[in-house]
Amino acid sequence: MPESKSFLSRLVSELKRRNVLHVGVVYLVAAWVVVQVTSIVSTPLRLPHWTLALVIVAAIAGFPLALVVAWAFEITPEGVRRTDEAEDQQGRRPVGRASRVALVGVTAVLVAGMTWGAWDHWLRVPPVEAEAARPLDPNHVAVLYLKDIGPNHSLGYLADGLTETLIHRLGSVDGLTVVPTNGVKPFRDASVPFDSVGRLLNAGTVVDGSVQGTGDRVRVTVQLVDASTGDQLASQQLDEPLGDPFALQDTVSSEVARFLRQRLGKSVELRRAMESADDPRAWKLYQVALGLRDDANSLRWARDTAGAMALFERADSLFRVAGTLDPAWIRPPLESAWTRLTMARVGAGVTTQTDTTLLRRGLGPANQVLSRHPGNARALEVKGNLEFFIARVQLADREPTGQRTMEEAERNLRAATTRDPTRARAWAVLAYILKGQGKFAEARVAAERMAEADPYLSNDAEYLYELAALAIEFGQLDRADSLSSRGETRFPYMPAFPANKLLILASRGTDSAAPDSAWTLLDRTERLFPPGQKYQEGRYYVAATLIRAGLVDSGQAVAHRAREIDPTSPTVPHDEAYLALLLGDREGAIRDLVHYLEVVPQQRAYVAKDWWWDPLKADPRFQELVDTTRSAVR
């Protein structure tokens, strides 16, 4: 016991002599001042939220270390020296080696313990909070059971059926992970916040809605919700007549699923774009530009060309400014290229009338991205699209560079789909190019790949159009007509779908009602054109329908007026060859085809496989004409 007191006495004496207690007090005061200053300046300086906690942990962990340093060293007139050396010179008895080792061990344990305790208290995120902090994937979707909110609650069966059909339809989409039926059943009658649903089901997107019966009709409302924030991303309301419940369920679920896929795609694409942006100012301008472009497209389809072009110009300008603010971000220049492509196509209808100046301006930002990121699939996709439309104009104008430009477009589009098979717009144009080469089977594969690459149906219009056009090429006219009708219903602003239906009628219409239907379809198509523009090919299709119906004189008169619209159009000899064939003039048909292929020789393979010319395919002159290894018949 006396020896223990002697040790404690010597230890306290040593602590005083080495100024350890003095250093400890000074350290605590200084640490308190630093913590107070940090708490004051962290907000105005916008320091990270964990800064203050980190300073506190560092201060606590540093306290034992400061005491150890004070024990081991002292400041003398000669400088900083080990305290042991100073003791030896003064002849004082030091604390023994074993005691020093024990002291170091105790200090190490204190440092470790205090650091862990401080980290556990201030910095470590509890498991629940860590789970809440983990971002949710917007591609993980939870479709909650639709609620029957009608006064009699008599449509519960329909609400349940729609919910389960939606889960099935969305669950079959590549790129989406949908919570199964059993996963959402516990939330069927519960009122749970969307963020809690998202956390519990690991879903970044929640679909919610209701069904309400009013008389002989039913109203279905759905909304798409960001589970992380609770914000509504989009909503849709459908009113349908009550009838066959199975047919109603199929119709409504199909339309709602299509809507949800498209809106979810926009949301996901926007989030991906945000993740790749570094400058918040650029991101804000980018969002504004996207909104302006959407508004411009609305004006475009409302035939307000001037208003649309003004908004497109503003959007393009903002994309360029965003690209300047964030030079490493590739989205703004690529969207600028897409915007210029759209501007070039404003007013083009279903013809090749395209502003090549704007198309070439679009190549600038695409090449800019490729110069920094060679082989970038997004840049190759937009470049290939631009080159394709440039080539179409060049070929129509009989420019010698047209075929070379088309080949370059095909190379870039193939490269884009090879590097990234999800480039849907590359697949769409590639399908069109292959179809023009007479490679119908390959074109169909490309169209199918476009659908697979587009889980959000952002290119649904192009997909329907390509499928309908390919069905026509294969002679599947009923299927083509059905697809075109669906496209016209979904996209009433697009002239391509009624134009398709007019072509189908020209290929088979023989009944007495066909002529009236042809004129109606021509009118529907031209109403969607810019004011004053006429659909020359469509008028030839009307002429063909009249001839098929036995109204030969009327058909020839319509064809004559159609020719006067643009006698130099490369499609004129092609369409007149078809009329000649319908009239039984095989000589005239071959003569017109010779003229057509002199103008567009790259179409030989297409003409060789086109079923329009089946009556001529046994004719040696036709065989020679479409032989791609020989020169055209003169």
Say which DSSP state 631 is in: P
Give the model's confidence band at 114: pLDDT under 50 very low, under 70 low, under 90 confident, else very high: low
Among candidate residues 462, 463, 501, the one with its CA nearest the CA of residue 479: 501
Say if strands 177-178 and 147-148 run parallel, antiparallel, or are unpaired. Answer: unpaired
Q: Determine the 3-state secondary structure of 373 from DSSP.
A: coil
Amino acid (1-letter code) at residue 592: D
Handedness of CA 51, 54, 58, 60 (dihedral sign): positive
Domains of the chain: 2-124 (no CATH), 134-261 (3.40.50.10610)
Q: In whole angstroms, what is the distance from residue 468 CA to residue 318 CA?
A: 37
Lowest-confidence pick of 188-197, 360-369, 607-616: 188-197
Among candidate residues 474, 276, 491, 239, the one with its CA nearest the CA of residue 373: 276
**pLDDT tens, residue by residue, 588-633:** 999 999 999 988 888 888 899 899 999 999 999 999 998 866 544 4
Q: Tell me, letter by letter, the H, E, C secondary structure of 238-305.
A: EEEECCCHHHHHHHHHHHHHHHHHHHHHHHHHHHHHHHCCCCHHHHHHHHHHHHHHHHHHHHHHCCCH
Task: Give the pLDDT confidence score for residue 130 in this predicted structure.
Answer: 42
Residue 242 pLDDT > 70: yes
Give the model's confidence band at 30: pLDDT under 50 very low, under 70 low, under 90 confident, else very high: confident
Give the model's confidence band at 390: pLDDT under 50 very low, under 70 low, under 90 confident, else very high: very high
Place of tokens 């109203």: 219
Assigned token pair, 41: 């300046």
Handedness of CA 227, 231, 234, 239 (dihedral sign): positive
Q: What angle do CA 611, 617, 618 make, to 5 degrees?
A: 145
Amino acid (1-letter code) at residue 377: A
Give the model's confidence band at 103: pLDDT under 50 very low, under 70 low, under 90 confident, else very high: low
Assigned token pair, 416: 């884009």
* Mean pLDDT along residues 238-243: 78
Q: Are 319 and 291 in contact (CB under 8 A)?
A: no
Q: Which long-range contacts (CB under 8 A, 24 or more apart) does 627-633 make?
A: 628/604, 632/594, 632/597, 632/598, 632/601, 632/604, 633/590, 633/594
End-to-end CA distance of the chain: 126
Residue 192 pLDDT > 50: yes
Question: Which residue blocks in 397-528 are alpha helix, DSSP H?
Answer: 402-419, 424-436, 440-452, 460-473, 477-490, 496-508, 514-527
Backbone angles phi, psi at 44, to 5 degrees: -65, -30
**pLDDT tens, residue by residue, 469-484:** 888 888 889 988 988 9
Give the model's confidence band at 304: pLDDT under 50 very low, under 70 low, under 90 confident, else very high: confident
Assigned token pair, 381: 């996709």
Task: Give the pLDDT confidence score for residue 581 in this predicted structure.
Answer: 95
Give the model's confidence band at 90: pLDDT under 50 very low, under 70 low, under 90 confident, else very high: very low
Among candidate residues 145, 150, 204, the one with its CA nearest the CA of residue 177: 204
Beta-carbon neighbour count of residue 92 at 10 Å? 11
Give the model's confidence band at 634: pLDDT under 50 very low, under 70 low, under 90 confident, else very high: very low
Q: Determine the 3-state secondary structure of 219 from DSSP.
A: strand
Q: What angle do CA 489, 494, 497 make, to 5 degrees?
A: 65
Tell which wins on pLDDT, 501 or 64.
501
Residues paired with residue 76 on neighbouring β-strands, in sequence order: 79
Q: Are 187 and 135 in contact (CB under 8 A)?
A: no
